[in-house]
Structures are given as C-alpha cells and as structure tokens.
C-alpha cells in the first residue's frame, strides 16, 4: 500500500468524523496525520511502529492504524464510520465545494442520500431552503456534480498507463509470436482516456479464454474481431483483432481521430495498402506523422509540405525548472532533489521554485527563509559543480495580479515562475486581466499552470487564451507546460498558437518529491501533441544557454 492510499484513508476518516460531529481536535489530528503521511520521505510499508510514531504528528495510536491499514486494508474506527454512512453520502465528499458540514445538512435536514438525488434537488431549487445555502451555493454544487458526472468512466493518461502496461505484458507473454500495439487515444497520448485500445494478431478465442482465467479482468462484450473488458479500476479496454497482413493499415485506421482519418480519405479512398504506416503515408504523398499529432489539425498540411516539427523527446531535456523542496511543501530536501537530477536523470541543472510567502498552507517562504535557501544553494553549487541549482521561486499571483515579494527581492532570483493558487473563481475578464498583469511584471520569467485546472476534478478558470498568449509574446514570458498528469496545463490545443507567436514553452514537473521529476515524461507527451520541438523548449537549453538566457532577461529589466 502506497503512502498516498494510506493518507487517503486517514483523510476519509477525518471527514467522516467531522460528518458525525466527533471531537474536533481528534478530527483535526486525523487530518494532520493524513497530511503528514502523504509527505513522508519513505514508504510507510517499510517502516516499523517506532519509526512511524517518531514522526511529528503521528503518535502510537495513528501508527497502529497505519499498520492495520497496511496489513488488513483498513482499521476499526474507519470501518465503523463507513458502515454507518450511505455510499451516496460518501460520494458527496469527493464533490468540489462540498465538505462534511454542508453534507450534514443535505443528509440530515433534506434527507438526501445520493448524488443523483442531490442534483435533482438542485434542479428543483430545493437546496436554497436549507440553512447556510443560497442560490449561488446551489448553482456551484449543481455545476460540480455535472463536472463529476462528465468525468465518469474517464481516466488520466498516467492512470491508464499504469493499468495498460501489465496487460500488454500479459498479452505478449501469452502470445509471443503475435504482433500487439496500443492504438487509439492511448497511442495518441491523449491526456484523458476513455478506453485503452490494443490491436493484436492473437486469436480472439484464445484471448477470451485468457481473460476468463484472470480474475483481474471482466469481459463484457465479444465479437468476431473485438473484445471489450474492464479491470479492477473499472478502466475499459478494447481489443481489436487483425491479421499480420492488415496490421499496418488497421493500426493507422484505429490510431488517428475521426478528423485525421477523414482528411486522409479525402486524399485517397480507400487508403492504399502498405507494410508499415510509413509506406501508407508515403503512398498518400505524405511524410510519416507521429501518433501524437494525428488529431486532424494542421498535421496533414505539414506532412504534405514536409514541414512536420521534429517533436521533442525526454532525452532532449537538459534540466528541470519549477520544483519544490522541504523549504516549502516538498517531501525531499534541496540536496536530495539536486542529486536525483544529477545522478539518476543525468541533467545539468535544477531550478528550485518553492512557494512564496502568501502560500501559508504550503509553508511558503518568508524573505528571511528565501535568503537561507540561497545560502544553501550556493554551498551545494560549489559541491555539485558543474551541476547547477538555479534560484527560483513560484510566486503566487495575488488577486490583483501582483507578485508576492517586493521588486528588490524578485530581482535577485535567477528566474520567477508566477502562478495562481487562490481565488480561483473568477470570470473570464477578471482572470485574464489578473494573468496579464502578472505577465507584464518585468520579473516574471515563466507563467505557471495557466488555467489552474485539475483534469477530471476541477475545471480551470475561464481565460481569453489569445490575449494571455499574446501578452506572453509581447513580454518575453515563457509558458509552462505543467507536466503533472492532473494538470498538463497549458493545454496542448493552445501550444501551437503560442509557438506561432514566438513564445517559448517549458516542460515543468512541479515536483514535490524526487520521483515527481519523472512526470516530465507526461509533459513531453502533451508537448509533442502541441507540436513542440527541442529548440523551442526552455529546459532543453543547456546549462550554459539557459544561464545566458536568464542573464540577458535580467539585464533587460535594469
């Protein structure tokens, strides 16, 4: 069991305790334990009772519960709470804007026990009658439920990948002579996946038998040339069966989205045959188009004119910007983050960007603590040279669009990532103006996660993307492609426009622990969909190049 899962169980426990009006201090202690476990720098599974209860915020009682969770999957108090809560009420806890207190009223006063009923009550204007509820709250809840409903059956790419990899392993082991390939939206590296599609030459009856033998998977539909099934996470899989001869054609026909295939058919219908996708594209007079680009946008025109971008890869990255450490809310120390970048990833530099002072919840840095961090960076830079840590900050963009420190502090950073963390509910006009003001600040180097969205969980604030991107172009501000699989923000659909305006992008992991740096792979996938090539990516610059870039930018301000 991973720390994240343990932390989730404690979070649920604290929420249910609050729902049942248990002692608020115990409730808070439970929430604090959840937070603490999530931030442990080691897997709790490997820890002893003593090691756990040594941690501040975790006492003997909590440590016992952690061990019980690891060994039995739960603990007594949690079980008791769950058993007296209707499933629908627990589902309400995951809806944004709904907490235990509001749910209490919904459940006890209005007698609503399912999310479906709750939506119905919103539509019937029945929530406004309840104490502490009004029209706006009702509307927010209605929107949040509709957002959650729309996310049903959809999965983040990263989660789908975690499931897809072992299944592909199973398939290739069982049918070593067959050809198997991912196709569809999974192959296109879409940020959200509705089904994992696999093209295979394995015999359909034998695959069906294999699935029947494996209790991880539940077969729910079988045709002559396709199978559909789900796994333990309820992720949908679609297997498509073909022959070795037709494999390349089928792969091409199942990978591209409808618009892409439609445009191909406008060149020639039916499509020419070929032994590889490259041959088929060639027969159409086109260069090979990478799967990520097959979205029916400009890729076919580019392929006609031989103007396809050489898409960036993970190995093009020379460094990483926008990362956190234990100075704010990260799990690993500055030295651990730096060593991981240097030794495990072979990078030339690390940009550290802890939270700024307004982000109190994330232990944001006071001016004094910024100075402390700079001292440690200087020491580490001597020790780790030629590897370099750049002094950055993730400065909150305050409600009025200003940054979080006075200018004389801001000018001392090597670079500044400016991002919004508070006051997320704004209309388009306000949100756009707020960002533009931050972009026009001469000390802003990179605009961080521009929309604040959390995929499948929270919509970003609405933006006039063109205005924001144009402002970045005018002010020489780089736009982040936040590589966290929940964000992938700037969305790839806007990256091409940004590149056309001359804006550089930066694939930033926003890592809060060493392993988080690996998220850059997801950012790379998104950036490839956006058509990014290495020369247009800030952290594909070498250390020498990026040093020169930062220096030049700072000189321009003076």
33 in contact with DNA (CB under 7 A): yes
Helix and strand numbers (H, E) in the chain are 24, 14
Per CB under 7 A, the list member of 97, 153, 166, 203 interacting with DNA is 97
Least distance (Å) between residue 135 CB and DNA? 5
The distance of closest approach from Cβ of residue 410 to DNA in the complex, given in angstroms and rounded to an integer, is 20
Cα radius of gyration (the chain): 26
Contact window for DNA (CB under 7 A) among 125-133, 195-203, 225-233, 538-546: 125-133
Rule CB under 7 A: choose which of 243, 360, 427, 555 binds DNA: 360
- Which of 7, 78, 103, 384 lies at the binding interface for DNA (CB under 7 A)? 103
* Residue 425 makes contact with DNA by CB under 7 A: yes
d(CA 266, CA 246): 21
Closest by CA position to 320, among listed 352, 343, 356? 352
For residue 294 the two structure tokens come to: 């097959």
Q: Which positions ≥6 away from 384 have C-beta within 8 Å? A: 338, 339, 342
Q: How far is the CB of 198 from DNA (least distance, A)?
A: 35
Q: State the minimum distance, in angstroms, from the CB of residue 528 to DNA.
A: 28
Distance CA 525, CA 514 (A): 20
- Binding-site member from 69, 89, 98, 311 for DNA (CB under 7 A): 98
Nearest to 182 by CA among 204, 160, 203: 160
Residue 422 near DNA by CB under 7 A: yes
Q: Which of 49, 80, 361, 535 binds DNA (CB under 7 A)?
A: 361
The structure tokens listed for 96 are: 């944004």
Q: Which of 23, 83, 152, 173 binds DNA (CB under 7 A)?
A: 23
423 lines the binding site for DNA (CB under 7 A) = yes
The only residue of 7, 44, 58, 202 in contact with DNA, by rule CB under 7 A: 58
> What is the closest distance, in whole angstroms, from the C-beta atom of residue 434 to DNA in the complex?
11
Retrieve residue 140's tokens: 């927010």
Q: Decide: 181 and 198 in contact? Cβ < 8 Å.
A: yes
Closer to DNA by Cβ: residue 38 or 77: 77
Residue span binding DNA (CB under 7 A) among the ranges 124-132, 215-223, 224-232, 515-523? 124-132
Residues that bind DNA (rule: CB under 7 A) add up to a total of 48
Query: How many other C-beta atoms can be found within 10 angstroms of the C-beta atom of residue 35?
Result: 16
The nearer residue to DNA, 347 or 362, going by C-beta atoms, is 362
CB-based burial of residue 194 (10 Å sphere; 0-12 exposed, 13-18 middle, 19+ buried)? middle
* Cβ atoms < 10 Å from Cβ of 450: 28
Residue nearer to DNA on the CB measure, 9 or 317: 9
CB 152 within 8 A of CB 141: no
Among 273, 279, 268, smallest CA distance to 243 is for 273
Q: Which is nearer to DNA, 57 or 166 (CB)?
A: 57
Residue 535 interacts with DNA (CB under 7 A): yes or no? no
User: Distance between CA atoms of 370 and 357, rounded to whole angstroms?
Assistant: 9
Strands (E), 168-271: 180-183, 192-193, 196-200, 218-222, 226-230, 236-241
CB of 494 to DNA, least distance (A): 22
Which residue intervals of 346-413 are DSSP H helices? 367-384, 407-410
56 contacts DNA (rule: CB under 7 A): yes
The interface with DNA within residues 463-522 (CB under 7 A) comprises: none
Q: Which is nearer to DNA, 35 or 175 (CB)?
A: 35
Among 101, 307, 383, 466, binds DNA (CB under 7 A): 101
First to last CA, the chain: 53
270: its two tokens: 């039916």
Element (H, E) at 69: helix 60-72
Question: Among 131, 205, 221, 406, which residue interacts with DNA (rule: CB under 7 A)?
Answer: 131
Interface stretch with DNA, choices 196-204, 271-279, 344-352, 424-432 (CB under 7 A) = 424-432
Contact call for residue 59 and DNA (CB under 7 A):
yes
| Cα separation, 209 vs 206, whole angstroms | 5
Instruction: Name which position in 72, 399, 542, 551 contacts DNA (CB under 7 A).
Output: 399
Binding-site ranges for DNA (CB under 7 A): 23, 25-26, 28-30, 33, 53, 55-63, 77, 96-103, 128, 131-138, 140, 358, 360-361, 399, 421-426, 454, 458
């Amino acid at each position: 069991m991973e720390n994240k899962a343990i932390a989730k169980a404690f979070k649920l426990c604290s929420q249910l305790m609050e729902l049942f009006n248990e002692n608020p201090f115990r409730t808070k202690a439970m929430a604090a334990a959840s937070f603490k476990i999530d931030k442990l720098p080691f897997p709790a599974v490997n820890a002893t009772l003593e090691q756990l209860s040594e941690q501040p915020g975790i006492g003997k009682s909590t440590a016992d519960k952690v061990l019980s969770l690891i060994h039995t999957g739960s603990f007594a108090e949690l079980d008791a709470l769950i058993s007296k809560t209707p499933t629908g009420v627990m589902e309400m806890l995951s809806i944004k804007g709904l907490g235990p207190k509001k749910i209490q009223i919904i459940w006890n006063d209005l007698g609503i026990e399912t999310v479906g009923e709750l939506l119905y009550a919103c539509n019937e204007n029945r929530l406004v009658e309840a104490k502490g509820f009004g029209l706006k709250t009702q509307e927010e809840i209605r929107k949040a439920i509709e957002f959650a409903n729309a996310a049903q059956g959809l999965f983040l790419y990263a989660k789908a990948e975690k499931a897809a990899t072992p299944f592909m392993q199973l398939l290739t082991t069982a049918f070593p002579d067959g050809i198997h390939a991912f196709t569809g939206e999974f192959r296109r590296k879409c940020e959200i996946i509705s089904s994992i599609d696999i093209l295979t030459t394995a015999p359909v009856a034998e695959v069906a038998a294999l699935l029947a033998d494996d209790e991880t998977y539940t077969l729910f539909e079988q045709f002559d040339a396709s199978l559909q099934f789900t796994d333990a996470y309820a992720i949908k899989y679609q297997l498509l069966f073909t022959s070795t001869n037709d494999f390349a054609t089928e792969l091409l026909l199942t990978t591209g989205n409808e618009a892409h295939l439609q445009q191909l058919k406008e060149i020639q219908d039916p499509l020419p045959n070929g032994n590889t996708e490259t041959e088929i594209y060639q027969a159409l007079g086109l260069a090979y188009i990478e799967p990520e680009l097959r979205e029916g946008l400009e890729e076919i025109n580019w392929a006609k004119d031989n103007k396809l971008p050489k898409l960036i890869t993970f190995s093009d990255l020379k460094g990483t910007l926008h990362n956190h450490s234990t100075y704010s809310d990260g799990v690993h120390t500055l030295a651990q983050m730096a060593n991981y970048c240097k030794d495990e990833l072979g990078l030339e530099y690390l940009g550290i960007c802890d939270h700024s002072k307004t982000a109190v919840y994330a232990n944001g840095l006071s001016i004094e603590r910024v100075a402390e961090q700079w001292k440690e960076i200087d020491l580490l830079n001597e020790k780790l040279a030629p590897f370099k840590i750049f002094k950055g900050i993730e400065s909150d963009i305050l409600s009025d669009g200003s940054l979080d420190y006075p200018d004389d502090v801001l000018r001392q950073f090597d670079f500044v990532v400016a991002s919004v963390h508070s006051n997320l509910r704004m209309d388009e006009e306000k949100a756009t103006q707020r960002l533009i003001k931050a972009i026009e600040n001469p000390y802003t180097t990179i605009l961080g996660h521009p929309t604040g969205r959390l995929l499948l969980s929270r919509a970003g604030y609405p933006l006039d993307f063109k205005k924001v991107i144009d402002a970045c172009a005018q002010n020489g501000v780089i736009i982040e492609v936040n590589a966290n699989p929940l964000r992938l923000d700037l969305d790839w659909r806007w990256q091409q426009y940004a590149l056309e305006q001359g804006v550089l992008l930066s694939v930033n992991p926003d890592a809060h622990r060493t392993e988080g740096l690996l998220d850059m792979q997801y950012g790379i996938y998104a950036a490839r969909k956006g058509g990014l090539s290495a020369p247009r990516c800030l952290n594909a610059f070498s250390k020498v190049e990026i040093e020169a870039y930062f220096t030049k930018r700072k000189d321009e301000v003076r």
